[in-house]
Amino acid sequence: MQTLRVGAPPTLMFLKPGVIGLDKDIPFIVSSRVTPILEAMGIELYDIEYRRERSGFVLRLFIDKTDGVGLDDCENVSREVAGMLDDDDPIDVSYSLEVSSPGIERKLIKDLHYLRYTGEKVEVKLHKPVDGKKKYGGRLVCRENGCVKIDCGEGNIMEFDVSNVSSCKLIHFN
């Protein structure tokens, strides 16, 4: 009798104590370490992603500041953060670091983002349809009491439960 093996062998990872690898807490842990560095540079950590992509793991930092983010800002943040991450070595797998602006059609994630962009045009995408639709556009009224409210025009205020909102982003073109 022959044994046929199919697929790749299991991958075992041995992590050093206090080091993180394939962990949902990586964005939180990295954020707590890089935020003081960015604040000293006058820059806000807008968002952070850690994910596996075809090329491997990617740690992506989205930065912002009041007068806008330029290429020099991205380069300076990349250099400072890469140095800190190399010294601290909090991620025990190989990864790429990317630093960029959240862009003009940025996602609204934190309560601060919703407050900052109240009155701006947004697109809200939903997990489950409301009135037969999963996508709405309008001006952001607020995010409070577990709901996102937008003015779809002509006084038509739509209210969506935050748990049903898959994304809310700024839009500048219709």
Domains of the chain, CATH where assigned = 26-100 (3.30.300.70), 111-170 (2.30.30.100)
Query: Is the CB of residue 60 less than 8 Å from the CB of residue 49?
Result: yes
Q: What is the pLDDT of residue 25?
A: 84
HSE, side-chain direction, 13 A CA sphere, residue 132: 0
| Spatial strand order in the sheet of 95-100 | 44-53, 56-64, 95-100
pLDDT at 154: 87
Instruction: Count Cβ atoms within 10 A of the Cβ of residue 114 and give its class: 0-12 exposed, 13-18 middle, 19 or more buried.
Output: buried
Q: What is the pLDDT of residue 16?
A: 44
Of 129, 120, 113, 115, nearest in space to 161 by CA: 129
Contact at 8 Å (CB) between 99 and 34?
A: no
Quote the tokens at residue 79.
């250099």
Q: What are phi and psi of 2, to 5 degrees?
A: -105, 145
What is the full per-residue pLDDT of the chain (174 aa) written as tens digits?
Answer: 444 444 344 444 444 444 444 467 889 999 999 999 999 999 999 999 999 999 999 999 999 998 999 999 999 999 999 999 888 878 888 899 999 999 999 999 999 999 999 999 999 999 999 999 999 999 999 999 999 999 999 889 999 999 999 999 999 865
Contact of 157 with 149, CB cutoff 8 Å: yes
pLDDT for position 12:
41
